[in-house]
Amino acid sequence: MRFLPDFPRHFPMSESHEEIVARDEALEKEFLVLAAGDSGRVEAVRLLREAFMKLLDASIEEAGQMDIMKALARHYGVFCDFANIRTRTAGRRQFVDLTLILPAGLSIKKAHGHAADLKNDLAASIPESEIVVHMEPCAGDCAYAAEGRACPYLVPAGKNGA
């Protein structure tokens, strides 16, 4: 019993990689010759390419990047640092992925609360977005730890104005 369907004869399984590449290049050249034959077709191909590229991943626009920085600034007093900010857009959707470095001694409940607050703030300022906030504990390699001082981000609520 055969599980694989019969392949069309123009895609023989015995073709080498070089033969496949050569065939694909020939087809691409034929397409370009056809498209170049009519300036209207060339414009149509250019527009189609631009529309298609907008659907592919690209970084979000500068205004969205500034919104991310503003949100991080608004929440600055609750995290030690941030890292790995990655943004992309696909169609009308915008995606933000970042890592918050939180004090190692912070409770899981508080850490998740801080991450959720930042995520909600970002979602409100960047329309049609999907936000992912990762959390990592502080490595303890900051100036406070080097000097043997207490972490300023672990100050009990009410003593730092929060």
Amino acid at 121: D
Query: What percentage of the chain carries pLDDT values higher than 90?
Result: 27
Query: What percentage of the chain carries pLDDT values higher than 70?
Result: 60
Q: How confident is the model at residue 154 (pLDDT cuts 50, 70, 90)?
A: confident
Can you give the residue ranges of every domain in the chain?
17-55, 62-149
pTM for the structure as a whole? 0.60
Q: How confident is the model at residue 42 (pLDDT cuts 50, 70, 90)?
A: low
More confident residue, 24 or 105: 105
In Å, how far are 6, 121, 156 from 80, measured between CA atoms? 60, 18, 15
Instruction: Give me the pLDDT at residue 118, please.
Output: 95
Instruction: Give me the pLDDT at residue 149, please.
Output: 86
**Dist CA 85 CA 132 (whole Å):** 10
Secondary structure (DSSP) of 81-112:
EEEEEEEEEETTEEEEEEEEEE-TTS-HHHHH
Q: How confident is the model at residue 152 (pLDDT cuts 50, 70, 90)?
A: confident
Which CATH class for the 62-149 domain? alpha beta
Instruction: Give me the pLDDT at residue 134, please.
Output: 95
**Dist CA 103 CA 118 (whole Å):** 16
Structure tokens at 69: 């920085």
91 pLDDT above the threshold of 60? yes
Q: What is the pLDDT of residues 109-147, one digit of tens each?
A: 999 999 999 999 999 999 889 999 999 998 888 888 888
Residue position matching structure tokens 């298609």: 52
Q: Environment class of residue 125 by beta-carbon count within 10 Å: exposed (0-12), middle (13-18) or buried (19+)?
A: middle
**Dist CA 115 CA 99 (whole Å):** 9
Instruction: Give me the pLDDT at residue 78, please.
Output: 87
Q: Is the CB of residue 99 less than 8 Å from the CB of residue 136? A: yes
Q: What is the pLDDT of residues 3-31, one digit of tens each?
A: 434 434 343 444 555 666 676 666 666 66
**Dist CA 122 CA 99 (whole Å):** 13
Instruction: Give me the pLDDT at residue 9, please.
Output: 39
More confident residue, 91 or 101: 101
